Amino acid sequence: MHLIDTGPAVGNEMRKMRPCLVVSPDELNAHLRTLIVVPLTTGSHPYPFRVACRFRGKRAHVVLDQVRAIDRARLVRRLGRLPEPVVSRCLNLLQAMFAP
């Protein structure tokens, strides 16, 4: 998990600095300046492609329908890790979204 500066947003894109889960594989991250991330939010309702979790003592959702590629310059700081079962569920749902 990293704190990300999402920068200027358009329409319904998530705004402000927020925690994001890096979902791009390490092999990709080692060679590119960009990362693929999904944000966390505390103000969400359950949807099929949002994964409930707890992070830093707060209930949140990983918002898989807001996938975006960001430059490493947007990384503010490392915040920690989500539990492995949550990360696995996120990766499985992303696979279902993009490779039905």
pLDDT at 14: 67
Per-residue DSSP letter, 26? H
Q: For the residues 79-90, what does the mean pLDDT come to?
A: 95
Please give the model's pTM, rounded to 2 decimal places. 0.87
On whether the 2-98 domain is CATH 2.30.30.110, my answer is: yes
Rounded (5°) CA angle 47-52-56 = 145
For the chain, the domains span: 2-98
pLDDT at 38: 96
pLDDT at 100: 66
Q: For the residues 8-35, what does the mean pLDDT come to?
A: 86
Quote the strand ranges of 1-100, DSSP E: 2-5, 17-22, 34-41, 50-55, 58-63, 68-71, 75-78
Phi, psi of 17 (to 5 degrees): -75, 135
Q: Could you read off the pLDDT of 22-60 as tens digits, one per residue?
A: 999 999 999 999 999 999 998 877 788 899 999 999 999
